[in-house]
Structure 1
Protein backbone atom coordinates (compact mmCIF):
# COMPACT_ATOMS: atom_id res chain seq x y z
CA UNK A 1 0.00 0.00 0.00
CA UNK A 2 1.27 3.50 -0.79
CA UNK A 3 -1.29 5.63 1.00
CA UNK A 4 -1.48 7.29 4.40
CA UNK A 5 -3.07 5.21 7.16
CA UNK A 6 -6.66 6.50 7.41
CA UNK A 7 -6.78 5.62 11.09
CA UNK A 8 -4.08 8.19 11.84
CA UNK A 9 -5.06 11.60 10.47
CA UNK A 10 -2.26 13.22 12.48
CA UNK A 11 0.50 11.30 10.70
CA UNK A 12 2.86 13.60 8.83
CA UNK A 13 3.76 11.27 5.98
CA UNK A 14 4.29 13.53 3.01
CA UNK A 15 6.33 10.82 1.30
CA UNK A 16 3.00 9.38 0.12
CA UNK A 17 2.12 12.75 -1.37
CA UNK A 18 5.20 12.87 -3.61
CA UNK A 19 5.20 11.46 -7.11
CA UNK A 20 6.81 8.05 -7.65
CA UNK A 21 6.69 7.75 -11.41
CA UNK A 22 8.09 4.21 -11.42
CA UNK A 23 4.90 3.04 -9.67
CA UNK A 24 2.53 4.92 -11.97
CA UNK A 25 1.01 4.05 -15.34
CA UNK A 26 2.03 7.45 -16.74
CA UNK A 27 -1.35 8.91 -15.84
CA UNK A 28 -0.16 12.51 -16.13
CA UNK A 29 1.05 11.68 -19.67
CA UNK A 30 -2.29 10.26 -20.70
CA UNK A 31 -5.23 11.52 -18.63
CA UNK A 32 -4.68 15.23 -19.17
CA UNK A 33 -4.52 17.11 -22.43
CA UNK A 34 -2.56 20.19 -23.38
CA UNK A 35 -2.35 22.71 -26.18
CA UNK A 36 0.62 24.03 -28.07
CA UNK A 37 2.01 26.95 -26.08
CA UNK A 38 5.13 28.21 -24.35
CA UNK A 39 4.87 25.12 -22.13
CA UNK A 40 4.20 22.49 -24.81
CA UNK A 41 5.31 22.28 -28.46
CA UNK A 42 2.34 20.17 -29.58
CA UNK A 43 -1.37 19.59 -28.99
CA UNK A 44 -2.41 16.47 -27.07
CA UNK A 45 -6.07 15.55 -26.44
CA UNK A 46 -7.04 14.39 -22.96
CA UNK A 47 -7.18 10.63 -22.54
CA UNK A 48 -4.48 9.90 -25.13
CA UNK A 49 -0.85 8.88 -24.54
CA UNK A 50 1.85 11.46 -25.15
CA UNK A 51 3.89 10.72 -28.26
CA UNK A 52 7.00 10.51 -26.05
CA UNK A 53 5.57 7.77 -23.82
CA UNK A 54 7.62 4.57 -23.87
CA UNK A 55 6.26 1.02 -23.58
CA UNK A 56 7.35 0.81 -19.92
CA UNK A 57 5.40 4.01 -19.08
CA UNK A 58 8.59 6.10 -18.87
CA UNK A 59 9.25 9.29 -20.80
CA UNK A 60 11.58 8.74 -23.74
CA UNK A 61 12.85 12.34 -23.58
CA UNK A 62 12.80 12.86 -19.83
CA UNK A 63 16.32 14.28 -19.69
CA UNK A 64 15.65 16.87 -22.39
CA UNK A 65 12.03 17.88 -21.76
CA UNK A 66 12.74 21.56 -21.28
CA UNK A 67 15.07 21.92 -24.25
CA UNK A 68 12.48 20.21 -26.46
CA UNK A 69 9.75 22.61 -25.36
CA UNK A 70 7.94 20.41 -22.82
CA UNK A 71 8.43 22.79 -19.93
CA UNK A 72 4.94 22.07 -18.63
CA UNK A 73 5.90 18.49 -17.89
CA UNK A 74 8.77 19.57 -15.66
CA UNK A 75 6.58 21.68 -13.38
CA UNK A 76 3.64 19.29 -13.01
CA UNK A 77 3.11 17.56 -9.67
CA UNK A 78 0.47 14.89 -9.05
CA UNK A 79 1.05 14.89 -5.25
CA UNK A 80 1.45 11.12 -5.34
CA UNK A 81 -1.95 10.55 -6.95
CA UNK A 82 -0.43 8.67 -9.89
CA UNK A 83 1.02 5.77 -7.94
CA UNK A 84 -1.96 5.65 -5.58
CA UNK A 85 -4.47 5.30 -8.41
CA UNK A 86 -2.25 2.87 -10.32
CA UNK A 87 -1.30 0.57 -7.48
CA UNK A 88 -3.88 0.96 -4.70
CA UNK A 89 -7.14 1.75 -6.43
CA UNK A 90 -6.61 -0.23 -9.64
CA UNK A 91 -4.48 -2.96 -8.09
CA UNK A 92 -1.46 -2.64 -10.36
CA UNK A 93 -3.35 -3.45 -13.57
CA UNK A 94 -2.59 -0.81 -16.18
CA UNK A 95 -4.88 0.79 -18.74
CA UNK A 96 -2.82 -0.95 -21.41
CA UNK A 97 -3.59 -4.34 -19.90
CA UNK A 98 -7.24 -3.41 -19.53
CA UNK A 99 -8.14 -0.75 -22.11
CA UNK A 100 -11.74 -0.80 -20.87
CA UNK A 101 -10.54 0.66 -17.55
CA UNK A 102 -8.74 3.64 -19.06
CA UNK A 103 -11.58 6.19 -18.95
CA UNK A 104 -12.45 5.38 -15.35
CA UNK A 105 -8.79 5.34 -14.31
CA UNK A 106 -8.09 8.72 -15.89
CA UNK A 107 -11.17 10.30 -14.31
CA UNK A 108 -10.26 8.83 -10.93
CA UNK A 109 -6.74 10.21 -11.26
CA UNK A 110 -8.08 13.72 -11.82
CA UNK A 111 -10.16 13.50 -8.62
CA UNK A 112 -7.47 11.87 -6.49
CA UNK A 113 -4.90 14.46 -7.54
CA UNK A 114 -7.13 17.20 -6.15
CA UNK A 115 -7.69 15.30 -2.91
CA UNK A 116 -3.96 14.62 -2.50
CA UNK A 117 -3.16 18.27 -3.09
CA UNK A 118 -5.55 19.22 -0.30
CA UNK A 119 -3.91 16.64 1.97
CA UNK A 120 -0.54 18.25 1.26
CA UNK A 121 -1.83 21.61 2.45
CA UNK A 122 -3.58 20.11 5.47
CA UNK A 123 -0.37 18.46 6.65
CA UNK A 124 1.23 21.89 6.77
CA UNK A 125 -1.87 23.42 8.33
CA UNK A 126 -1.62 20.92 11.18
CA UNK A 127 2.03 21.88 11.68
CA UNK A 128 1.34 25.61 11.61
CA UNK A 129 -1.84 25.67 13.69
CA UNK A 130 -1.44 27.42 17.04
CA UNK A 131 -4.93 26.83 18.40
CA UNK A 132 -6.72 23.60 19.23
CA UNK A 133 -9.68 24.61 17.06
CA UNK A 134 -7.57 25.11 13.95
CA UNK A 135 -5.60 21.92 14.56
CA UNK A 136 -8.75 19.85 15.04
CA UNK A 137 -10.36 21.35 11.95
CA UNK A 138 -7.37 20.36 9.81
CA UNK A 139 -7.33 16.86 11.32
CA UNK A 140 -11.04 16.34 10.68
CA UNK A 141 -10.71 17.39 7.06
CA UNK A 142 -7.76 15.07 6.57
CA UNK A 143 -9.75 12.20 8.07
CA UNK A 144 -12.65 12.93 5.72
CA UNK A 145 -10.41 12.92 2.66
CA UNK A 146 -8.57 9.78 3.75
CA UNK A 147 -11.84 7.92 4.25
CA UNK A 148 -12.83 8.79 0.69
CA UNK A 149 -9.48 7.69 -0.70
CA UNK A 150 -9.69 4.35 1.08
CA UNK A 151 -13.09 3.62 -0.39
CA UNK A 152 -13.70 2.05 -3.78
CA UNK A 153 -13.68 3.80 -7.14
CA UNK A 154 -17.36 4.72 -6.92
CA UNK A 155 -16.85 6.47 -3.57
CA UNK A 156 -13.92 8.47 -4.91
CA UNK A 157 -15.82 9.55 -8.02
CA UNK A 158 -18.92 10.43 -5.99
CA UNK A 159 -17.02 12.70 -3.61
CA UNK A 160 -18.01 16.37 -3.54
CA UNK A 161 -14.58 17.80 -4.28
CA UNK A 162 -15.73 21.40 -4.49
CA UNK A 163 -17.45 21.25 -1.11
CA UNK A 164 -14.35 19.71 0.46
CA UNK A 165 -12.17 22.34 -1.21
CA UNK A 166 -14.32 25.13 0.26
CA UNK A 167 -13.91 23.70 3.76
CA UNK A 168 -10.18 23.17 3.28
CA UNK A 169 -9.75 26.71 2.01
CA UNK A 170 -11.54 28.01 5.11
CA UNK A 171 -9.24 26.00 7.37
CA UNK A 172 -6.10 27.15 5.55
CA UNK A 173 -7.13 30.80 5.78
CA UNK A 174 -7.66 30.41 9.52
CA UNK A 175 -4.21 28.88 9.97
CA UNK A 176 -2.66 31.50 7.70
CA UNK A 177 -4.13 34.34 9.78
CA UNK A 178 -2.74 32.75 12.92
CA UNK A 179 0.72 32.25 11.44
CA UNK A 180 0.93 35.71 9.89
CA UNK A 181 -0.32 37.38 13.03
CA UNK A 182 3.14 37.11 14.54
CA UNK A 183 4.65 39.46 11.96
CA UNK A 184 4.68 43.23 12.21
CA UNK A 185 3.89 43.96 8.59
CA UNK A 186 3.80 47.48 7.27
CA UNK A 187 0.66 48.25 5.30
CA UNK A 188 1.27 48.09 1.57
CA UNK A 189 -1.68 48.35 -0.78
CA UNK A 190 -0.11 46.06 -3.37
CA UNK A 191 0.39 43.13 -1.00
CA UNK A 192 -2.98 41.42 -1.01
CA UNK A 193 -4.61 38.18 -2.20
CA UNK A 194 -4.82 37.85 -6.01
CA UNK A 195 -2.65 40.95 -6.48
CA UNK A 196 -1.23 41.62 -9.94
CA UNK A 197 2.51 41.76 -9.28
CA UNK A 198 3.63 40.52 -12.68
CA UNK A 199 7.21 41.61 -13.39
CA UNK A 200 7.38 43.76 -10.25
CA UNK A 201 10.64 44.43 -8.45
CA UNK A 202 9.72 43.57 -4.86
CA UNK A 203 13.20 43.58 -3.38
CA UNK A 204 12.74 46.84 -1.50
CA UNK A 205 9.37 45.92 0.02
CA UNK A 206 9.08 44.16 3.39
CA UNK A 207 7.14 41.01 2.59
CA UNK A 208 7.19 39.03 5.85
CA UNK A 209 3.68 38.06 6.89
CA UNK A 210 2.05 39.27 3.64
CA UNK A 211 -1.07 37.53 2.32
CA UNK A 212 -0.31 36.78 -1.33
CA UNK A 213 -2.79 33.94 -1.85
CA UNK A 214 -3.47 33.59 -5.55
CA UNK A 215 -1.21 36.54 -6.39
CA UNK A 216 0.29 36.85 -9.86
CA UNK A 217 4.03 36.91 -9.27
CA UNK A 218 5.02 35.95 -12.81
CA UNK A 219 8.60 37.13 -13.47
CA UNK A 220 8.55 39.18 -10.27
CA UNK A 221 11.94 39.99 -8.78
CA UNK A 222 12.16 38.41 -5.33
CA UNK A 223 15.91 37.97 -5.20
CA UNK A 224 17.24 37.85 -1.62
CA UNK A 225 13.75 38.48 -0.26
CA UNK A 226 12.72 37.17 3.14
CA UNK A 227 9.38 35.41 2.61
CA UNK A 228 8.86 34.25 6.18
CA UNK A 229 5.17 34.02 6.97
CA UNK A 230 4.13 34.93 3.42
CA UNK A 231 0.99 33.04 2.33
CA UNK A 232 1.71 31.80 -1.21
CA UNK A 233 -1.27 29.45 -1.54
CA UNK A 234 -1.99 29.20 -5.27
CA UNK A 235 0.33 32.11 -6.14
CA UNK A 236 1.63 32.06 -9.72
CA UNK A 237 5.43 31.97 -9.45
CA UNK A 238 6.23 31.26 -13.09
CA UNK A 239 9.67 32.71 -13.84
CA UNK A 240 9.73 34.55 -10.52
CA UNK A 241 13.35 35.36 -9.67
CA UNK A 242 14.17 33.65 -6.38
CA UNK A 243 17.95 33.73 -6.32
CA UNK A 244 19.08 34.10 -2.71
CA UNK A 245 15.49 34.29 -1.46
CA UNK A 246 14.54 32.60 1.81
CA UNK A 247 11.30 30.64 1.42
CA UNK A 248 11.97 28.26 4.31
CA UNK A 249 9.10 29.70 6.37
CA UNK A 250 6.72 30.64 3.55
CA UNK A 251 3.18 29.29 3.85
CA UNK A 252 1.52 26.68 1.61
CA UNK A 253 4.18 26.40 -1.05
CA UNK A 254 4.24 23.42 -3.43
CA UNK A 255 6.87 21.69 -5.52
CA UNK A 256 5.10 22.76 -8.71
CA UNK A 257 5.36 26.44 -7.76
CA UNK A 258 9.05 26.08 -7.04
CA UNK A 259 9.69 24.21 -10.28
CA UNK A 260 8.01 26.99 -12.26
CA UNK A 261 10.17 29.69 -10.67
CA UNK A 262 13.79 30.66 -11.32
CA UNK A 263 15.98 29.94 -8.34
CA UNK A 264 19.56 28.87 -7.73
CA UNK A 265 21.76 27.13 -5.18
CA UNK A 266 21.43 30.09 -2.80
CA UNK A 267 17.63 29.88 -2.65
CA UNK A 268 16.49 28.53 0.72
CA UNK A 269 13.51 26.17 0.47
CA UNK A 270 11.14 24.61 3.02
CA UNK A 271 12.34 21.21 4.23
CA UNK A 272 9.44 19.46 2.48
CA UNK A 273 10.47 20.70 -0.98
CA UNK A 274 13.34 19.79 -3.29
CA UNK A 275 15.54 22.00 -5.41
CA UNK A 276 14.48 21.53 -9.06
CA UNK A 277 17.24 19.96 -11.18
CA UNK A 278 16.81 22.56 -13.91
CA UNK A 279 17.69 25.50 -11.65
CA UNK A 280 20.97 27.07 -12.58
CA UNK A 281 23.70 26.46 -9.99
CA UNK A 282 25.45 29.75 -10.46
Structure 2
Protein backbone atom coordinates (compact mmCIF):
# COMPACT_ATOMS: atom_id res chain seq x y z
CA UNK A 1 0.00 0.00 0.00
CA UNK A 2 1.37 3.40 -0.99
CA UNK A 3 2.26 5.87 1.77
CA UNK A 4 0.36 9.11 1.11
CA UNK A 5 3.08 11.17 2.80
CA UNK A 6 5.22 10.50 -0.29
CA UNK A 7 2.62 12.42 -2.28
CA UNK A 8 3.11 15.65 -0.34
CA UNK A 9 5.26 18.40 -1.85
CA UNK A 10 8.90 18.52 -0.80
CA UNK A 11 10.11 21.85 -2.19
CA UNK A 12 13.63 21.30 -0.83
CA UNK A 13 14.13 18.55 -3.42
CA UNK A 14 12.45 20.32 -6.35
CA UNK A 15 13.88 22.65 -8.97
CA UNK A 16 11.08 25.17 -8.46
CA UNK A 17 9.03 23.54 -11.20
CA UNK A 18 5.67 25.03 -10.21
CA UNK A 19 7.39 28.46 -10.17
CA UNK A 20 8.58 28.03 -13.75
CA UNK A 21 6.55 25.47 -15.69
CA UNK A 22 3.10 26.84 -14.87
CA UNK A 23 1.55 30.10 -16.12
CA UNK A 24 -0.52 32.46 -13.99
CA UNK A 25 -2.51 35.61 -14.66
CA UNK A 26 -2.63 38.76 -12.59
CA UNK A 27 -5.65 38.39 -10.32
CA UNK A 28 -6.68 38.18 -6.69
CA UNK A 29 -4.48 35.07 -6.50
CA UNK A 30 -1.38 36.40 -8.27
CA UNK A 31 0.13 39.88 -8.24
CA UNK A 32 1.60 39.61 -11.75
CA UNK A 33 1.25 37.79 -15.07
CA UNK A 34 3.68 34.96 -15.84
CA UNK A 35 3.98 32.80 -18.94
CA UNK A 36 4.53 29.05 -18.81
CA UNK A 37 8.24 28.20 -18.89
CA UNK A 38 9.34 31.56 -17.52
CA UNK A 39 10.69 31.65 -13.97
CA UNK A 40 8.72 33.64 -11.43
CA UNK A 41 10.56 36.83 -10.49
CA UNK A 42 10.60 35.63 -6.86
CA UNK A 43 12.44 32.38 -7.62
CA UNK A 44 15.98 32.47 -6.24
CA UNK A 45 19.14 30.78 -7.51
CA UNK A 46 18.68 27.98 -4.95
CA UNK A 47 15.15 27.31 -6.30
CA UNK A 48 13.54 28.72 -3.16
CA UNK A 49 10.94 31.48 -3.05
CA UNK A 50 12.32 34.85 -2.05
CA UNK A 51 9.03 35.94 -0.48
CA UNK A 52 7.85 32.61 0.92
CA UNK A 53 6.98 34.02 4.35
CA UNK A 54 4.99 36.92 2.90
CA UNK A 55 3.31 35.41 -0.18
CA UNK A 56 -0.22 36.21 0.94
CA UNK A 57 0.62 39.75 1.99
CA UNK A 58 2.31 40.44 -1.36
CA UNK A 59 -0.57 39.15 -3.47
CA UNK A 60 0.52 35.58 -4.22
CA UNK A 61 -2.21 33.67 -2.40
CA UNK A 62 -2.40 31.22 -5.29
CA UNK A 63 1.11 30.01 -4.49
CA UNK A 64 0.14 29.15 -0.92
CA UNK A 65 -2.85 27.13 -2.15
CA UNK A 66 -1.13 25.10 -4.86
CA UNK A 67 0.04 21.54 -4.17
CA UNK A 68 1.88 19.34 -6.66
CA UNK A 69 1.19 16.02 -4.86
CA UNK A 70 4.95 15.41 -4.74
CA UNK A 71 5.35 15.64 -8.52
CA UNK A 72 7.95 18.39 -8.22
CA UNK A 73 10.53 16.32 -6.39
CA UNK A 74 9.63 13.23 -8.43
CA UNK A 75 10.36 14.90 -11.76
CA UNK A 76 13.41 16.73 -10.40
CA UNK A 77 15.12 13.86 -8.63
CA UNK A 78 13.78 10.73 -10.37
CA UNK A 79 12.67 11.51 -13.91
CA UNK A 80 15.55 13.92 -14.54
CA UNK A 81 18.05 12.33 -12.16
CA UNK A 82 18.74 15.38 -10.04
CA UNK A 83 19.95 17.58 -12.91
CA UNK A 84 18.17 20.93 -12.98
CA UNK A 85 16.86 22.86 -15.96
CA UNK A 86 19.45 25.52 -15.17
CA UNK A 87 22.33 23.05 -15.34
CA UNK A 88 20.93 21.41 -18.47
CA UNK A 89 18.93 24.08 -20.37
CA UNK A 90 18.29 21.64 -23.21
CA UNK A 91 16.12 19.56 -20.84
CA UNK A 92 14.00 22.48 -19.62
CA UNK A 93 11.07 22.27 -22.04
CA UNK A 94 10.76 18.51 -21.59
CA UNK A 95 10.92 18.79 -17.81
CA UNK A 96 8.21 21.44 -17.81
CA UNK A 97 5.97 19.27 -20.02
CA UNK A 98 6.43 16.17 -17.87
CA UNK A 99 5.71 17.94 -14.58
CA UNK A 100 1.92 18.51 -15.02
CA UNK A 101 1.46 14.95 -16.30
CA UNK A 102 3.16 13.46 -13.24
CA UNK A 103 1.15 15.78 -11.02
CA UNK A 104 -2.08 14.32 -12.41
CA UNK A 105 -0.81 10.78 -11.89
CA UNK A 106 0.22 11.56 -8.32
CA UNK A 107 -3.20 13.06 -7.65
CA UNK A 108 -4.75 9.78 -8.77
CA UNK A 109 -2.33 7.89 -6.53
CA UNK A 110 -3.47 10.05 -3.61
CA UNK A 111 -7.08 9.01 -4.17
CA UNK A 112 -6.25 5.36 -4.83
CA UNK A 113 -4.05 5.01 -1.75
CA UNK A 114 -6.76 6.57 0.40
CA UNK A 115 -9.34 4.19 -1.04
CA UNK A 116 -7.03 1.26 -0.29
CA UNK A 117 -6.66 2.38 3.35
CA UNK A 118 -10.40 2.10 4.04
CA UNK A 119 -11.93 -1.04 5.54
CA UNK A 120 -15.13 -0.43 3.59
CA UNK A 121 -13.26 -1.14 0.33
CA UNK A 122 -11.82 -4.51 1.30
CA UNK A 123 -13.90 -6.24 -1.36
CA UNK A 124 -12.02 -4.30 -4.06
CA UNK A 125 -8.55 -4.32 -2.46
CA UNK A 126 -7.08 -6.43 -5.25
CA UNK A 127 -8.40 -4.07 -7.93
CA UNK A 128 -7.10 -1.04 -6.05
CA UNK A 129 -3.69 -2.66 -5.58
CA UNK A 130 -3.45 -3.37 -9.30
CA UNK A 131 -4.41 0.16 -10.26
CA UNK A 132 -2.01 1.67 -7.73
CA UNK A 133 0.82 -0.40 -9.19
CA UNK A 134 -0.09 0.55 -12.74
CA UNK A 135 -0.35 4.27 -11.95
CA UNK A 136 2.90 4.22 -10.01
CA UNK A 137 4.66 2.51 -12.92
CA UNK A 138 3.39 5.18 -15.30
CA UNK A 139 4.69 7.96 -13.05
CA UNK A 140 8.04 6.14 -12.61
CA UNK A 141 8.68 5.87 -16.34
CA UNK A 142 11.14 7.86 -18.45
CA UNK A 143 10.14 11.31 -19.67
CA UNK A 144 9.50 10.11 -23.22
CA UNK A 145 7.02 7.48 -22.01
CA UNK A 146 5.29 9.86 -19.60
CA UNK A 147 4.59 12.32 -22.41
CA UNK A 148 2.83 9.57 -24.37
CA UNK A 149 0.37 8.74 -21.58
CA UNK A 150 -3.31 9.31 -22.28
CA UNK A 151 -4.02 10.78 -18.86
CA UNK A 152 -7.72 11.34 -19.55
CA UNK A 153 -8.24 7.68 -20.44
CA UNK A 154 -6.29 6.51 -17.40
CA UNK A 155 -8.24 8.86 -15.14
CA UNK A 156 -11.49 7.39 -16.48
CA UNK A 157 -10.30 3.88 -15.54
CA UNK A 158 -9.29 4.98 -12.05
CA UNK A 159 -12.56 6.84 -11.58
CA UNK A 160 -14.51 3.58 -11.82
CA UNK A 161 -12.80 2.43 -8.62
CA UNK A 162 -13.14 5.81 -6.95
CA UNK A 163 -16.88 5.84 -7.61
CA UNK A 164 -17.14 2.34 -6.20
CA UNK A 165 -15.21 3.47 -3.13
CA UNK A 166 -17.56 6.39 -2.65
CA UNK A 167 -20.60 4.14 -2.79
CA UNK A 168 -19.12 1.67 -0.31
CA UNK A 169 -18.13 4.35 2.19
CA UNK A 170 -21.31 6.35 2.02
CA UNK A 171 -23.61 3.31 2.14
CA UNK A 172 -21.78 2.04 5.22
CA UNK A 173 -23.18 4.96 7.21
CA UNK A 174 -26.70 3.62 6.90
CA UNK A 175 -29.86 5.63 6.45
CA UNK A 176 -31.72 6.51 3.28
CA UNK A 177 -30.25 8.66 0.55
CA UNK A 178 -32.08 11.86 -0.23
CA UNK A 179 -31.72 14.80 -2.54
CA UNK A 180 -30.38 16.73 0.44
CA UNK A 181 -27.20 14.65 0.33
CA UNK A 182 -26.75 14.41 -3.46
CA UNK A 183 -24.82 17.48 -4.61
CA UNK A 184 -22.61 16.12 -7.37
CA UNK A 185 -21.47 19.02 -9.57
CA UNK A 186 -23.92 21.38 -7.87
CA UNK A 187 -23.55 25.15 -7.72
CA UNK A 188 -23.40 25.72 -3.97
CA UNK A 189 -21.47 28.96 -4.01
CA UNK A 190 -22.11 30.75 -0.72
CA UNK A 191 -24.44 27.96 0.50
CA UNK A 192 -25.39 27.91 4.17
CA UNK A 193 -24.51 24.59 5.78
CA UNK A 194 -23.52 25.78 9.23
CA UNK A 195 -23.94 22.93 11.74
CA UNK A 196 -25.53 20.73 9.09
CA UNK A 197 -25.51 16.94 9.13
CA UNK A 198 -23.76 16.18 5.84
CA UNK A 199 -22.69 12.64 6.68
CA UNK A 200 -22.35 10.62 3.50
CA UNK A 201 -23.12 13.58 1.25
CA UNK A 202 -21.94 13.51 -2.35
CA UNK A 203 -20.08 16.73 -3.19
CA UNK A 204 -18.09 15.36 -6.15
CA UNK A 205 -17.14 18.34 -8.33
CA UNK A 206 -19.46 20.69 -6.44
CA UNK A 207 -18.83 24.43 -6.28
CA UNK A 208 -18.61 25.24 -2.57
CA UNK A 209 -16.81 28.55 -3.04
CA UNK A 210 -17.47 30.75 0.00
CA UNK A 211 -19.89 28.19 1.50
CA UNK A 212 -20.54 28.30 5.24
CA UNK A 213 -19.63 24.84 6.55
CA UNK A 214 -18.84 25.86 10.11
CA UNK A 215 -19.31 22.98 12.55
CA UNK A 216 -20.81 20.81 9.78
CA UNK A 217 -20.48 17.03 10.08
CA UNK A 218 -18.91 15.71 6.87
CA UNK A 219 -18.09 12.17 7.95
CA UNK A 220 -18.13 9.90 4.90
CA UNK A 221 -18.77 12.82 2.55
CA UNK A 222 -17.20 12.49 -0.91
CA UNK A 223 -15.30 15.71 -1.62
CA UNK A 224 -13.35 14.71 -4.71
CA UNK A 225 -12.93 17.72 -6.98
CA UNK A 226 -15.09 19.98 -4.79
CA UNK A 227 -14.09 23.64 -5.05
CA UNK A 228 -13.58 24.81 -1.47
CA UNK A 229 -12.00 28.18 -2.17
CA UNK A 230 -13.01 30.54 0.60
CA UNK A 231 -15.29 27.92 2.19
CA UNK A 232 -15.55 28.37 5.96
CA UNK A 233 -14.54 25.08 7.57
CA UNK A 234 -14.04 26.37 11.10
CA UNK A 235 -15.08 23.67 13.53
CA UNK A 236 -16.12 21.34 10.69
CA UNK A 237 -15.67 17.58 11.11
CA UNK A 238 -13.77 16.40 8.06
CA UNK A 239 -11.79 13.55 9.58
CA UNK A 240 -14.03 10.86 8.12
CA UNK A 241 -14.57 12.51 4.74
CA UNK A 242 -13.02 10.96 1.64
CA UNK A 243 -10.86 12.24 -1.21
CA UNK A 244 -9.99 15.54 0.44
CA UNK A 245 -6.65 17.04 -0.62
CA UNK A 246 -4.16 19.56 0.63
CA UNK A 247 -4.93 21.69 -2.42
CA UNK A 248 -8.57 21.99 -1.34
CA UNK A 249 -8.01 22.82 2.31
CA UNK A 250 -5.26 25.32 1.47
CA UNK A 251 -7.87 27.41 -0.31
CA UNK A 252 -10.42 27.19 2.51
CA UNK A 253 -10.79 28.89 5.90
CA UNK A 254 -10.24 26.76 9.00
CA UNK A 255 -9.17 26.89 12.60
CA UNK A 256 -7.81 24.74 15.41
CA UNK A 257 -11.25 23.15 15.84
CA UNK A 258 -11.40 21.90 12.24
CA UNK A 259 -10.97 18.10 12.35
CA UNK A 260 -8.92 17.02 9.33
CA UNK A 261 -7.98 13.55 8.07
CA UNK A 262 -4.72 12.36 9.64
CA UNK A 263 -3.00 12.40 6.23
CA UNK A 264 -3.44 16.16 5.81
CA UNK A 265 -1.26 18.74 7.60
CA UNK A 266 -3.07 21.78 8.94
CA UNK A 267 -2.45 24.81 6.68
CA UNK A 268 -0.05 27.29 8.25
CA UNK A 269 -2.32 30.25 7.50
CA UNK A 270 -5.30 28.84 9.42
CA UNK A 271 -5.96 30.61 12.70
Q: Counterpart in 1 of 2:145?
A: 155
Alignment match of 2:10 (pick from 15, 20, 33): 20
**How far apart, in 2, do the equivalents of 1:85 and 1:204 lie?**
42
Q: 1:49 to 1:185 in 2, by over 3 A?
A: farther
- TM (norm. structure 2) is 0.96
For residues 218 and 250 of structure 2, the distance between their equivalents in structure 1, rounded to whole angstroms, comes to 17
Q: Could you tell me whether the CA contact under 8 Å between 2:120 and 2:172 is conserved in 1?
A: no
Which one is further off, 188-197 or 101-110?
A: 188-197
Shift of the alpha carbon at 1:144? 0.8
Match of 1:265 in 2: 256
Matches within 5 A, 1:75-154: 75-128=65-118, 130-154=120-144
Aligned residues: 270
Aligned residue number for residue 256 of structure 1? 247
Deviation at 1:225, TM superposition (A): 0.7
Partner of 2:47: 57
Q: Partners of 2:196 and 2:217 in 1: how far apart?
A: 10
- Cα pair 1:195 1:215 within 8 Å, conserved: yes
Superposed CA RMSD: 1.3
Give me the whole-angstrom Cα distance separating, in 2, the residues matched to 1:190 and 1:246: 16
Aligned partners of 2:94, 2:123: CA distance in 1, in Å? 38
C-alpha change, 1:165 and 1:129, in structure 2 (3 Å) is farther
Task: Quote the offset at 1:186 in angstroms.
Answer: 5.5
| 27 and 177 in structure 1: CA distance in 2 versus 1, 3 angstrom threshold | same
| C-alpha separation in 2, matches of 1:270 and 1:207 | 16
Contact 2:196 2:215 (C-alpha < 8 Å) held by counterparts: no
Within 2, Cα distance between the matches of 1:105 and 1:153? 8
Local SS of the residue matching 2:213: coil
Q: Match for 1:193 among 171, 184, 188?
A: 184
Residue 40 of structure 2 aligns to a residue whose secondary structure is coil
Q: Of 45, 61, 66, which residue of structure 1 is paired with 2:56?
A: 66
The CA distance in 1 between the partners of 2:210 and 2:182, in whole Å, is 16
Kept after mapping to 1: 8 A contact 2:76/2:83:
yes
Structure 2 residue 180 is matched with structure 1 residue 180: no
**Cα separation, 1, equivalents of 2:223 and 2:57:** 28
Counterpart CA distance in 2 for 1:83 and 1:251 is 25
Change (3 A) 1:62 1:185: farther
* Counterpart Cα distance in 2 of 1:189 and 1:271: 28
Higher mean displacement: 26-35 or 157-166: 157-166
- Shift in Å, 1:82: 0.4
Contact preservation (8 Å) 1:17, 1:116: yes
Unaligned runs of 5+ in 1: 1-10
Shift in CA distance, 131/23, structure 1 to aligned 2, threshold 3 Å: closer
Give the aligned partner of residue 8 of structure 1. none
In 1, Cα distance between the equivalents of 2:241 and 2:5?
A: 20
State how far apart, in whole Å, the 2-side matches of 1:111 and 1:222 are: 33
